[in-house]
Amino acid sequence: SNKKRRLWTGDAIGSSDVAAILGVDAFRNKADVYWSKVQQLDTPENDAMDAGTRFEPVVIDWLEEQVGIIGRNVVKVHPKWPDVPIRVNCDGIILADERPAEGKTSGLLGPTKEQWGDDMTADVPDRVLVQCHALMLCTERELCKVAAFIGRRGFARFQIPRNDKLAEIIERDVVRFWTENVLVEVAP
């Protein structure tokens, strides 16, 4: 595929960046995030990424049928640090309780490579768990809802409660990455 996706987001750390910084993203690592912050990058978008992006609104539509009206694509900024910008794009915010909602797809174009647990549990891939915690940090909520469409399984719902220890690790590691790598332009 010759599709391109603009990744440059040098002025902030997003939820998927947090997963890569913590080393739980199979597709990107800390160095990838660093270079996306200090220079503008064009990277190819593969067919699976394109399908996931296109199908994500359908997944959020399905979740909305389960939980009520959801505001879409809401940007939130971490309230604690003006100098370490964590800015996330929540796929949705459930209007009834202002909890973040995340839409995911897995295995749309081939076998599912990640482990997804039973419905209504917190058993999601580590990268999704970390992304949800970044959303909870920025929205100051204690629970994140995840809707997923998983190949050979269909729609599933998950609930991720905040884990204070993981939240502390995220905050510590993101601050360290931003101040010791990005701001001073020292590659990890």
Per-10-residue mean pLDDT of the chain, 188 residues long, equals 44 92 92 86 72 93 97 90 82 97 93 93 98 96 98 96 97 93 93
| Residue 140, phi-psi category: left (phi > 0), alpha (psi -120 to 50), beta (remainder) | left
Nearest to 127 by CA among 142, 146, 108: 146
Nearest to 134 by CA among 83, 82, 169, 182: 169
In this prediction, residue 92 carries a pLDDT of 96
In this prediction, residue 7 carries a pLDDT of 40
In this prediction, residue 110 carries a pLDDT of 86
In this prediction, residue 111 carries a pLDDT of 87
150 strand-pairing partners: 106, 154
| Strand 99-106 with 87-94, pairing | antiparallel
The C-alpha atoms of residue 70 and residue 114 are separated, in whole angstroms, by 26
In this prediction, residue 17 carries a pLDDT of 94
